[in-house]
Structure 1
Amino acid sequence: MTDPMQDPGFLQDPYPTYAAMRSRCPVQPVSTGSGGHISYLVTGYAEARQALGDARLSKDTAAFFAGKESRRRLHPAVAHTMLATDPPQHTRLRKLVTKAFTTGAVAELRPFITQVTDELLDQWPVGEPFDLVARLAVPLPVIVICELLGVPEGDRPDVRRWSAELFAAGKPDVIDTASHSLADYMTGLITAKRLDPGGSLLDRLIAARDGDDHLSEEELVSLAVLLLVAGHETTTNFLGNAALALLQRPAELDHLRKNPDEVPAALDELLRFDSPVSTATFRFTTEAVTLGDTDIPAGVPVLVALGAANRDPERFPSPDLLDVDRDAAAHLSFGHGIHRCVGAPLAKAEAEISLRAVLARFPGIRLATPPDRLDWRRTRLVRGLASLPVLT
């Protein structure tokens, strides 16, 4: 089958396409890329969960592409992040950053997240359309992760632009250029922090590089870039998707407005309903693997469609229905297994605080454009709105 991304209506609403594919077979070969390369696309929940936790599916992109010709010129710090490693290297790198995103560590950030949210909402215009993505979904997570890493305020617009360009599907030159811009910037920031150390997460990673953890210089730059990008891209899409889902369903929106303490529990359902990560990062089989009833040969890429898995009726009855009372904690939007998103607690804290604030301060918020005219980002990896016009 051809790549579902080629369907003109896929970006607007991928779920009918995913449902049709799943009904035929939850794991099937698809032709991807201009060269017609074959990958296996996973759309079933059970099969996706198995794939995400199966050690025979490697994330070591360097090993997969070794010896293969490529016209790409991604910076190594972007091409070979922690997300593109297997244990034991992955275990070592993940251990260095996990402490920064524990529930306790994120709890300490909540006052800052609340302050930033309030300052952003104070600037929302009244009585005229504005873009919720540009006024909240983008700046909030960017400010928080940049503050955590110690990125100067004046540099943040460039950082955000380069990060967005990394997901420019169909524009390899743009992606490659952005990868070098980000890596070069983080290299320079690391140099500056060595001369003038502070207390940021990046400073702590530098200390690990210069201390006993033997973090290589390339690993240090790569971790910094990954944290910067992953620390806000997913949350930006999560906030936009969640806002749209609720604005299209006034009853659910009103329920959460009247019961704000239920917002934290509703986040899992919002994540399940429209995952901010459409397809998990690259994996390939190191040996023949059977997923469901499908045999996959060794050395073949496997694309795990998290958004499709979250809409599998075998796991979530009436999956196309948004039900904020549903127990959706088993969703796969943050992944599963050893590669589960380390920043999930931070993303959920930002979403909870900002959604509660919007519901409390703007009870009349509504869409300012028909849903079928919304502009979605053209990318396979993430699912998010380019803009979300609203009125308060």
Structure 2
Amino acid sequence: MEPLTLRTQGPVHRVHVPGSGEAWMVVGWELARAALTDPRLGNDIRHSASWESDGGHAVGRNMLQSDPPLHTRLRRLVAGHFSAGRIGALGPRVEEIAGELIAVLPREGTVDIVGQYALPLPVTVICELLGVPAEERDGFHAWSNELVMPTSPEAAAAAGAALTACLTELTGRKGTLLGDLAGELDGEELLGMAFLLLVAGHETTVNLISATLHGLLSHPDQFALLRDDPALTESAVEEALRLYSPVHTTAFRFAAEPLELAGVRIAAGDAVLVSLAAASRDPLRFPDPDRFDITRRTTGHLGFGHGLHHCLGAPLARMEASVAVRLLLRHRPALAFATDPAELTWRSSTLLRGLAELPLRVG
């Protein structure tokens, strides 16, 4: 049963997660906000009742799978690189990259806006930020995509091994952000930091850019509003974050002790997922929640999570998506679906959701 359907039957449910087993899922907005700041729910997999057989960390020890004080130390080391000031200074380079990508798009015919624009923009930005050479970027994206949306256990294991080897070599390079962190982190922490920044630094943004464009083209009235007033671009991105939620759920959290959520008893060691997608469509928080409205007041949506693990890269993702949408609509204002939107393929996993491709007519 889908999280949105579950929400009508209560805020907490027992679910089966393919490949991971049983878990509790939180789907209501109010309880989701509370769960995301509940210190009894830890991200460290060692709180899991079966952590020794759960597979451990994805790659290295990272912020997403740690709790304070480790999480606090890891986040503090890189937080300054994603401050509003630093991200603002990146704006001109992001516009330059977007302009270069748009310049090679045809003025007539059909393009896959995911593969030719929404993907290469954030991949280029995060790879430049972290020092990944241009010739290594295609392989890096393929590996990271397999890890966050696995096609099979074997393929995911192979991708993890390849990405680990690539990141290990990358963290040894001096003069890069990751190289500079080498003196502050041990080997597993450095590897985990590289993995999280590189993967989280582009996967969700690809989905956000394409979902925003999909939402606008699916709602001609909203598209017209934005063409008439480009100042609504950031609002359109926020509404896409709320309604289409590129990140479906949080990473697993684990009950460090027995607790209750909305009267439901959670045993120590049980896994808990918070459905950001369902929470951000809760009608008790957002009236008419399934409507795409770029003038909506979206304050409080959970597209980037909440609390200690609120997405560190949120300012970068917002800026990249806003630049991408604004410049594309300025230079290719006659965009339209090149195929029936109902036939588009959405790549989905427990964690992420995004378009595999988005064929658009550009003239």
Partner SS state of residue 358, structure 1: helix
Identical positions, percent: 41
Counterpart in the other structure of 2:142: 161
Contact 1:375-1:385 at 8 Å conserved across structures: yes
Gaps of 5+ in 1: 5-16
Q: 1:77 to 1:385 in 2, by over 3 A?
A: closer
- Counterpart contact for 1:279–1:305, Cα < 8 Å: yes
Q: Which moved more, 1:90-99 or 1:325-334?
A: 325-334
Indicate yes or no: 2:340 matched with 1:370: yes
Question: Does structure 1 residue 283 correspond to structure 2 residue 253?
Answer: yes
1:18–1:109 distance in 2 versus 1, CA, 3 Å: same
Q: What's 1:184 paired with?
A: 165
SS state at 2:348 partner? coil
Which residue of the partner structure matches residue 265 of structure 1? 235
Is the 2:62–2:192 contact (alpha carbons within 8 Å) kept by the matching residues of 1? yes
Quote the Cα distance in structure 1 between the aligned partners of 2:4 and 2:246: 18
Calculate the aligned-residue CA RMSD, in Å. Answer: 1.7
Q: Could you tell me how far 1:80 is from its partner in structure 2?
A: 3.3
Is 2:68 the counterpart of 1:87?
Answer: yes
User: Is 1:322 matched with 2:292?
Assistant: yes
What secondary structure is seen at the aligned counterpart in 2 of 1:324? coil
Equivalent residue number for residue 360 of structure 2: 390
Residue 315 of structure 2 corresponds to residue 345 of structure 1: yes
Output the amino acid matched with 2:143: W
Q: Which residue of 1 aligns with 2:178?
A: 202
Please tell me the residue identity of whatever aligns with 1:21: L
Task: Name the counterpart of 2:279.
Answer: 309
What is the letter of the counterpart of residue 106 of structure 2?
P
Tell me by how many angstroms 1:342 deviates. 0.3
Moved more, 129-138 or 341-350: 129-138
Question: 1:99 corresponds to which residue?
Answer: 80
In structure 2, C-alpha distance between the alignment counterparts of 1:63 and 1:298, rounded to whole Å:
8
Tell whether the 8 Å contact from 1:169 to 1:378 is kept in structure 2 after alignment.
no
> Residues 103 and 345 of structure 1 are in contact (CA less than 8 Å); yes or no, is this contact kept in structure 2?
yes
**Residue from 44, 47, 55 that aligns with 2:39:** 55
Which one-letter code corresponds to 1:361 in the other structure?
H
1:77 positional shift: 6.2
Q: Distance in 2 between matches of 1:348 and 1:373?
A: 28
For the 8 Å contact 2:216–2:222, the answer to whether it is kept is: yes
- Alignment CA distance shift 1:22-1:221 (3 Å): same
- Return the alpha-carbon distance in structure 1 between the equivalents of residues 162 and 150 of structure 2: 18
Whether contact under 8 Å (1:137, 1:236) holds in the other structure is yes
CA distance in 2, matches of 1:67, 1:303: 16
Distance 1:326 1:337 in 2: 23
Report the 3-state secondary structure (helix = DSSP H, G, I; strand = E; otherwise coil) of the residue aligned with 1:363.
coil
Distance 1:170 1:121 in 2: 31
Q: CA deviation at 1:66?
A: 6.0
User: Are the counterparts in 2 of residues 50 and 291 from structure 1 also a CA contact under 8 Å?
Assistant: no
Is the partner of 2:53 in helix, strand or coil?
Answer: coil
Which residue pairs with 2:132 in the alignment?
A: 151
Say whether the 8 Å CA contact 2:101–2:116 is kept in structure 1. yes
Task: Give the CA deviation at 1:222.
Answer: 1.2
Instruction: State the match for 2:113 in structure 1.
Output: 132
What is the distance in 2 between the residues matched to 1:221 and 1:330?
33
Give yes or no for the alignment of 1:174 onto 2:148. Answer: no
CA distance in 2 between partners of 1:303 and 1:170 (Å): 21
Residue 380 of structure 1, CA deviation:
1.5
Secondary structure at 1:326's aligned position in 2?
Answer: coil
After superposition, the Cα gap between the structure-2 partners of 1:108 and 1:67, relative to the gap in structure 1 and judged at 3 Å, is closer
Distance 1:248 1:91 in 2: 41
SS, match of residue 360 in structure 2: strand
What SS class does the counterpart of residue 321 from structure 1 fall into? coil
Whether contact under 8 Å (1:275, 1:306) holds in the other structure is: yes
Q: TM-score, normalised by structure 2?
A: 0.95
How far apart are the structure 1 equivalents of 2:314 and 2:117? 19
Alignment-derived partner of residue 15 in structure 2 = 30
TM-score normalised according to structure 1 size: 0.88
Query: 1:45 aligns to what?
Result: 29
CA drift at 1:297 = 2.0
Contact kept, 8 Å, 2:44 with 2:67, in 1: the verdict is yes
Name stretches of at least 5 consecutive residues in structure 2 with no aligned partner: none
What letter corresponds to residue 57 of structure 1 in structure 2?
L
Q: For 1:384 and 1:115, how far apart are their aligned partners in 2?
A: 25
Question: How far apart, in 1, do the equivalents of 2:73 and 2:18 lie?
Answer: 33
SS at match of 2:286: coil
Which structure 1 residue ranges, 4+ long, deviate > 6 Å from structure 2?
none
User: What residue is the counterpart of 1:64 in the other structure?
Assistant: 48
CA contact under 8 A between 2:49 and 2:270: conserved in structure 1?
no
For residue 280 of structure 1, give the secondary structure of its aligned residue in structure 2: coil
Work out whether 1:121 is the aligned partner of 2:102: yes
The answer (yes or no) to whether the contact 1:116–1:140 under 8 Å persists in 2 is: yes
Deviation at 1:175, TM superposition (A): 1.5
SS in 2 for 1:384: strand
2:26 is matched by which residue type in structure 1? V
Count of residue pairs the alignment pairs up: 362
How far residue 190 of structure 1 moved from its aligned partner, in angstroms, is 2.2
